[in-house]
Each structure stands twice: as C-alpha cells, then as structure tokens.
Amino acid sequence: MGCGHFRTDVSYLPDLEAYLADLLRNRERLAAFTSADDWAKTETMPSDEEIARVRRLVQRVRADLDDLTDKDRAQIREAIAVVRRSRTVALGMPRIRQPLPDVRPDRTL
C-alpha cells in the first residue's frame, strides 16, 4: 500500500476490506497481550498509518461505486464476479507450504 506503483480496482474491494479487518483484529490482539515485551509489540503492531491508508483506499473505492448509476453498478458487479472466479488474492501474511514428505527416508545424502 505504501509503494508508489501500487494500483487497485473495485474487484479487490472484498480483499481490501478483509485485509483491513485483519489489521484491526491483529492490533486489538496485540494490545490485549499484556505479557509481551514493549519492543515485541512495537515491532509486530500494524501501524496506524498503514491502517489509515487501507481505510482511505476502501472508502475511496466505495465512494466511487456510490457515484455510479444503478445500471453501472450492476454491470461492475457482474464483471467483478467473472474476474474473481479466476483469481485468488492474499493481501495478508504470506503462507508457507508444508514440506513435502520424504518418500525415501532410508536414503542417505
């Protein structure tokens, strides 16, 4: 979100809203975690700036949608449905795949 090359469109709105919800949930969890060292909370806490940027982005996309006619909104919803069926998005933490099982455990390296 802080990169000057970042671009988005209305089809990413559900992902942006989910990402914002994750940031807010993580902030609340960390704030409630009283036994953590202050430095650890500071390093892992989503910044207010990041939360504000995502919030503004979501609000701007919603406002743009609100400015459209009902017919245009319906067409956009149809287009989004088509695009989202062929795309998976993860804006949160990267996922690490499980290691593949060793099919030959008796083999020496």
Cα–Cα dist 59/65, whole Å = 10
Contact 57, 98 (CB under 8 A): no
Q: Domain spans of the chain?
A: 10-85
Mean pLDDT over 7-28 rounds to 90
Kindly indicate the confidence band of residue 3, based on its pLDDT and cuts at 50, 70 and 90.
Answer: low
Cα–Cα dist 61/15, whole Å = 12
Cα–Cα dist 32/34, whole Å = 6
Q: pLDDT tens digit string along 26-82?
A: 999 888 888 878 888 888 889 999 999 999 999 999 999 999 999 999 999 999 888
Q: Smallest Cα–Cα separation from 64: which of 51, 55, 73?
A: 73
Radius of gyration of the chain (CA): 20
Q: Is the pLDDT of residue 87 over 80?
A: no
